[in-house]
Amino acid sequence: MADAKPISLTRFLLEQQRDQGRINADLRLLIEVVARACKRISIAVGKGALGGVLGNAGTDNVQGEAQKKLDVLSNEILLEANEWGGHLAALASEEMDDPHPIPHRYPKGEYLLVFDPLDGSSNIDVNISVGTIFSVLRCPADIEPGEQAFLQAGTRQVAAGYAVYGSSTVLVLTLGDGVHAFTLDREQGTFLLTQSDMRIPEQTSEFAINMSNLRHWEPPMRQYIEELLAGRTGVRERDFNMRWVASMVADVHRILTRGGIFIYPRDMKDPDKPGKLRLMYEANPMAMIVEQAGGAATDGRLRILDIQPEKLHERVAVFLGSKDEVERVTRYHREAAT
Ligand code: AHG
Ligand code: MN
Ligand code: MN
C-alpha cells in the first residue's frame, strides 16, 4: 500500500534541498523559520479578544496608516524569529520605515526577507481572515544590506508565500517550481501538505474589487467593470459574480482555489499614488505565486514581476488572477494609453 501519511513542510523542504537541489540549507531554514513565526501569529490571531490583541496600537506606520496591535506584534514575531539563524543579510517590512539589519552579535547570511506581517488588518477586530505575505531575495554581494539591496525586480525572488489565518491556517509557498499549500494541524503544530501544484483556471466569472472607488477610476477600468456588470445581456454574454474580503491574502487564496480576478487599480482619489498596494511585499510575492499557478499579474500595463522598484514602500496598481481576464483588462489599459 502507498504511504498515505501526509507530508510535513519540514519533509517537503528537506526533499526540495536533498533530492531536487532546488534550495540550499539556508533557504530551507529561512522558510521553516517564517512558517514557525506564522504559527505564532496564527495563535495570537486565534485568541482574539481573549489575548488582548485587538484594537489600535496608537502609532502610525511609514505610510501614515494607524497600526493595529496585531500589526506590531506580528512584525515583532517575524523579526525575533529571523534575526539569529544566520540565514539573512537584512529584513524589511510594511511596519518599519527602513530595513532592519541583522544585529552584530549574530552571523549574517545571503538572503533578504521582506514581508507584510499582517495583511488585511482592518479585518482583525471583526473576525475576518487576515494573513502574512513574504518575499525572499538574494542580497547582491557588492552592496550593503540597506534599502538599495532590496530594490530588485520581482523576477529575482527566490521564494514567496503567504499564510492565511482563516477558518483554518494555510501556508502557500512557491520556490519557483509550482505552488503548494500546507494546512496547519493545530493539535500537532505542524504544517502538512494538502495541495501541490495549485493551478488557477484560465477563465473565470468572478471578480474582486472595491466597487466604492468606481467614481475615481480611469476610463479603461470603468469600461472593463461595466462590461462585467452588464452580464449576459452585455458584450461579455455571461453573468459575473463579485467578492471582496478586503484582505488581499484571502482574496488571492480564493482565486488560487477556484479562479477569479483581483484588482486594486490606480485611482484619482489621490492621483499622485500609482495604487494602494505595495510592490515589494504585497504585489511581487502574490504575482510570483499567481504566475507559478498559471495565472497572470500586471499593473494594468506591465508585468508586475518586471517592474524595477525605486523605493522600499513603493505602491503599484494590481491586476492578478485568471489569465484571460488579466490579459483583457490589461489590453483595455494599453489601448487607452496609445
Ligand atoms: P494592510 O492591512 O496590510 O495595510 O493591507 C490591506 C490591503 C489589502 O489587504 C486589501 O486588499 C486592501 O488593502 C483593502 O483595501 P480597501 O479597504 O481600500 O478595500
Ligand atoms: Mn497588506
Ligand atoms: Mn499589513
Domain residue limits, the chain: 9-195, 206-337
**138: CA distance to ligand 1 center in Å?**
27
Assess whether the C-beta atom of 248 lies below 6 angstroms from ligand 1. yes
Assess whether the C-beta atom of 59 lies below 6 angstroms from ligand 1. no
Predicted TM-score (pTM) of this structure: 0.97
**116: CA distance to ligand 3 center in Å?**
5
Q: Whose CA is nearest to atom 6 of ligand 1?
A: 120
Cell of 112: 533578504
Out of 1-10, 24-33, 264-273, 323-332, which region has the weakest mean confidence (pLDDT)?
A: 1-10
- 9-195 belongs to which CATH class? alpha beta
d(CA 192, CA 321): 25
Ligand 1 atom closest to 210 (CA): 19
The angle subtended at Cα 222 by Cα 220 and Cα 224, nearest 5°, is 70
d(CA 111, CA 104): 16
Alpha-helix residue ranges (DSSP H) falling in 185-275: 219-230, 248-258
Mean pLDDT of 78-84: 97
How buried is residue 125: exposed, middle or buried, by Cβ count under 10 Å (0-12/13-18/19+)? middle
Assess whether the C-beta atom of 32 lies below 6 angstroms from ligand 1. no
Alpha-carbon radius of gyration of the chain? 20
**Band of the pLDDT at 213, cuts 50, 70, 90?**
very high
Which pLDDT value is given to residue 230?
Answer: 98
Element (H, E) at 162: strand 159-165
**235: CA distance to ligand 3 center in Å?**
38
**Band of the pLDDT at 296, cuts 50, 70, 90?**
very high
Which pLDDT value is given to residue 114?
Answer: 98
**219: CA distance to ligand 2 center in Å?**
26
Assess whether the C-beta atom of 116 lies below 6 angstroms from ligand 1. yes
Which CATH architecture is the domain 206-337 placed in? 3-Layer(aba) Sandwich (3.40)
Assess whether the C-beta atom of 210 lies below 6 angstroms from ligand 1. yes
Pocket test for ligand 1, best of 69, 122, 320 (most atoms within 8 A of CB): 122
Please list the residues that pair with 208 across neighbouring strands.
262
Nearest to 222 by CA among 268, 254, 259: 268
Assess whether the C-beta atom of 129 lies below 6 angstroms from ligand 1. no
Out of 2-6, 161-165, 172-176, which region has the weakest mean confidence (pLDDT)?
A: 2-6
